[in-house]
Amino acid sequence: MDIAAEVARLKREKDAVILAHYYVPPEVQDMADYVGDSFYLARLARTLECSTIVLCGVSFMAESAKMLNPERTVLLPDVTADCPMAHMVNKADVDAIKQRYDDLAVVCYINSTAEIKSWSDVCVTSSNAVKVVRELPQHNILFIPDMHLGHYVSEQVPEKNFILNRGWCPIHHRMIPQEVEELELAHPNARVIAHPECTQEVLQEADFIGSTKQMIDYVAQSDAEEFIVLTVVGVRREMEKMTEGSGKRFYFPRTTPVCVNMAKVTPEKVLACLRDGTGEVGMPTCVEAATTPLERMLELAAR
Ligand code: SF4
């Protein structure tokens, strides 16, 4: 069976749109109507004319899409595709810190469950975190769940006091400076570009630090021909697409950064969920409390 053709037929029959994250396998990205980062996908989902959204990514992304699109059916091709970092903070720790400071904002990376968002004052993405945190009136910032992004933001906003939580993305966390240095030796003219979920030691090696989308824009606009890319390897598909015909080359660490959860999303599973309506995402019970920090982010980021 031609899976892509069958998916295209089912999309028309079910009035569905397929959204894919940059980190899912290239063959799934190729089936998608839109490819982007989690924030782009959640926001885009709001503007679509369709009754069903197939979200090719991990569960917190599908949950955000559902919260922002309550009237639409949202399907997740593999319901076990979950982000470990999205759970890496507990309520008791957040409550204890809230008790210690009067002037505190809980800032939550969008890569988190709805429940964790509901404990927060505002959400951020890796591309708008610095701007949003600067806009907040509070001096003390509890940044959850990612300590590396939190540390990166704290360096850009030194006028505020940051309290960091011990959470991390396992894929970015395990990148080590030695592997970056090996790549630099092999490709001395390459620019090093990194996602702020990498450790501080790895970020020190970078010529450019930015969100996945900002990294893609950087390689598309740069005069350089070679890039050492420090994020999940799935992004290669979009980088190659955006620079087609330019001869630009992309190198990733030897311990290939694959997100095992994003990799669970396969063309076969996309087809199955469209055909059978499986993997439907329910509305989280804390939807109101979790949507408020998302809306606040949109408002502060637009200022
Ligand atoms: S790459 Fe990291 S942050 Fe993104 S979904 Fe995978 S584990 Fe989570």
Residues 292, 163: one domain? yes
Residues 15, 72: one domain? yes
Instruction: Give the SS3 label for residue 249.
Output: strand
256 assigned to some structural domain: no
pLDDT for the residue 40:
86
Ranges under pLDDT 70 in the chain? none
Return the residue whose CA atom lies nearest to atom 2 of ligand 1. 169
Q: How far does residue 194's CA lie from ligand 1's centre (Å)? A: 15
Prediction pTM value: 0.95
281 assigned to some structural domain: no
Phi, psi of 79 (to 5 degrees): -70, -10
Q: Which residues line ligand 1 (CB under 6 A)?
A: 23, 58, 83-85, 111, 169-171, 232, 259, 261-262
Q: What are the pLDDT digits (tens) for 116-142? A: 999 999 999 999 999 999 999 999 999
Phi, psi of 302 (to 5 degrees): -85, -10
Which residues constitute the domain of residue 139?
A: 85-169+287-301
Q: How far does residue 4's CA lie from ligand 1's centre (Å)? A: 26
Q: How many domains does the chain have?
A: 3
DSSP state of 280: B
For ligand 1, what atom is nearest to the CA of residue 146?
3
Distance in angstroms (rounded) separating the CA atoms of residues 49 and 154: 39
Residues 161, 184: one domain? no
Output the domain CATH number for residue 194. 3.40.50.10800
3-state helix, strand, coil in the chain (%, to 5): 45, 15, 40
150 assigned to some structural domain: yes
257 assigned to some structural domain: no
Say if CB 18 and CB 31 are below 8 A apart.
Answer: yes
